[in-house]
Amino acid sequence: MPEVIVRKGEPIDRALKRLKSKLDAEGIMDEVRRLRAFETPTQKSRRKAKANAKRAKAKFRFHTAN
């Protein structure tokens, strides 16, 4: 679980921004949004296919220079 220690004299909004960036980096907010409502099997397979396509595209893009 990410945590942010508020430094002395630091504005709360800046600490909240740091916390938000940590949550985004770990993908926690995406998971919370996804688990908020029931996901049908079709939606689940579509989401996984989209993630796999994105991963394959990135792999192809960064590993073809050999």
pLDDT at 61 > cutoff 90: no
C-alpha distance from residue 23 to each of 1, 19, 66 (Å): 9, 6, 35
What span, in angstroms and rounded, lies between the C-alpha atoms of 21 and 27?
Answer: 10
CA angle in degrees (0–180, nearest 5) for 19-22-62 = 155
pLDDT of residue 65: 59
pLDDT of residue 18: 95
Tens of pLDDT, residue by residue over 1-53, are 889 999 999 999 999 999 999 999 998 988 999 999 999 999 999 999 999 99
Q: If you ran DSSP here, which 8-state letter would residue 51 be given? A: H
Domain ranges of the chain: 12-63
pLDDT at 64 > cutoff 70: no
